[in-house]
Amino acid sequence: MRRGPSLRRRVGEGDWMDIEGAIGGNKYWNVAEGRRDYVYALALSRARAPAPGGRYVRATGLGRVIAPEPVARFCRKYRVLLVDSGSLAVVSVLTWRAFREAMANPDGILSALESGSLPRYINYRTVLRILGARWRVG
C-alpha cells in the first residue's frame, strides 16, 4: 500500500504498520469499553460524494458513513472518524496521534461528547486540552 507524502512526514513507521493493519483487517474501535454507541473508524476516502445531510465517506468496518458539511471538510484518507453508530454520522475527525491519546484516556472524550463541546477536528494539541494533560514530545 502506498502512502502519500503528507502522511509519510507525519506518521512513523510503527504507526504506519498499525494503519495498514487496521485497513487490512477492516477494523473499528469502540470509544470506550462497553460503549457501542460511538466508534472510531479509519477514513478510506475524502468526503466528496453528496449525500442527504452532508457527504459520504468510506470508512473501515462501517462502509459508507455520512459526514455533515461542517465536518466533511476535515475528512481525509487515513484520518480517524468518530462515528455515531446508530445514525452512521461522523461527529468529529481526529489525527492518528490524537486518536492514540484518546484511546489511552477515553473518559475525557466521552465527557466532551456528552456535553456537546467536542470540536469538529481534533489534533494532538486539542486532545491534550480536552483531557487536561501536559504536552509530551514524541
Counting the structural domains of the chain, the total is 1
List, for residues 28-63, the tens digit of each pLDDT value: 889 988 888 999 999 999 999 999 999 999 999 999
Q: How confident is the model at residue 1, as a pLDDT?
A: 54
Q: How confident is the model at residue 40, as a pLDDT?
A: 94
Inside any domain, residue 136: no
Q: Which of 116, 91, 110 is nearest to 131 (CA)?
A: 110
Note whether 60 and 23 are within 8 A (CB): yes
Inside any domain, residue 89: yes
> Cα dist. 12→2, 23, 60, 85, 111 in Å?
14, 17, 21, 30, 30
Inside any domain, residue 33: yes
Which grid coordinates belong to 75? 475528512
Inside any domain, residue 94: yes
Domain assignment of residue 121, given as a range: 5-131
Name which of 29-33, 70-74, 90-94 the model is least confident about.
29-33
Inside any domain, residue 137: no
Q: How confident is the model at residue 28, as a pLDDT?
A: 86
Note whether 57 and 64 are within 8 A (CB): yes
**What are the phi and psi torsion angles at 34 (to 5°)?**
85, -5
Inside any domain, residue 15: yes
List, for residues 94-123, the tens digit of each pLDDT value: 998 899 999 998 888 998 888 988 999 999
Inside any domain, residue 69: yes
Q: For the whole model, what pTM was predicted?
A: 0.85
Task: Kindly indicate the confidence band of residue 132, based on its pLDDT and cuts at 50, 70 and 90.
Answer: confident
Inside any domain, residue 138: no
Which grid coordinates belong to 64? 459508507
